Amino acid sequence: MAFWQLTRLRVVYPVVLVFLLFVDGSIMASMSGIFTVFPWYVLPTLTLSWLFYGVQFDADKDMPFWVYVLLIGVLFDMYYTGIFGTYTLAFGAAVAVMKQLHKLLDERLLSGISVYFLGIVVYLVVAYVAGFIIGIANISLTHFFLFEMLPTITLNTVIVAVCYYPILSLFQFSR
């Protein structure tokens, strides 16, 4: 394999995906003084954002996309919670919803944001419900919605919107 092939999307995409998984944790650790100031609880979801770009810019056609989704879910569960299944399902469900919606919508920014919006809602709700299954949920739905879901979605949607066109050109360059 020649060196230039390393810039190909099918190489870059999974590497960035794994990288962002750890960046999420690092951001949460270093910015927790701002993100988790009581009563707020904001989560960085860059990994999900990268999966969204994959769906939105049709990167999934060049690579075993579902395998990556599954692997990143398992890695996330193993490293961050130690409980298998929750985030594997959350990532899977979010990507499935985003894929279905992407079929109906085009590649404009606003359509993209609506796709991402629904994806992140599914992602957070699946994680919330999983907490109930194993009996560790200790906040009410209203509190979760107001202080966690709302700021998380706002922050991450802004990040996705700001990076939308730069990432689109990156995908076009490395395809």
| Listed ranges 36-44, 60-68, 96-104, 112-120: which one lies at the site for another protein (CB under 8 A) | 36-44
133 touches another protein by CB under 8 A: yes
Q: Does 154 bind another protein (CB under 8 A)?
A: no
31 part of the interface to another protein, by CB under 8 A: yes
Q: Which of 78, 150, 158, 162 binds another protein (CB under 8 A)?
A: 78
User: Which helix (DSSP H) or strand (DSSP E) does residue 157 occupy?
Assistant: helix 150-174
Residue 97 sits at the vertex; the CA angle it makes with 141 and 58, to the nearest 5 degrees, is 140
12 binds another protein (CB under 8 A): no
Residue 71 touches another protein, criterion: CB under 8 A: no
49-69 burial string, b = 16+ CB within 10 Å, else e? bbbbbbbbbebbeebebeebb
Contact flag: residue 45 with another protein (CB under 8 A): yes
CA angle 136, 96, 151 (to 5 degrees): 50
22 near another protein (CB under 8 A): yes
* CB-side neighbour CA atoms (13 Å) of 4: 3
Binding-site size, another protein (CB under 8 A)? 54
Q: Which stretch binds another protein (CB under 8 A): 64-72, 104-112, 113-121, 130-138?
A: 130-138
DSSP string, 77-134: IIIIIS-SSHHHHHHHHHHHHHHHHHHHS-SSHHHHHHHHHHHHHHHHHHHHHHHHHT
- In the complex, minimum distance from the CB of residue 41 to another protein, in angstroms, rounded to a whole number: 8
Task: Tell me which residue of 18, 119, 12 sits closest to 63, measured CA to CA.
Answer: 12
Q: Which stretch binds another protein (CB under 8 A): 61-69, 94-102, 138-146, 161-169?
A: 138-146
Which residues sit at the interface with another protein, rule CB under 8 A?
18-19, 22-39, 41, 43-45, 75, 77-89, 124, 127-128, 130-131, 133-140, 143-144, 148
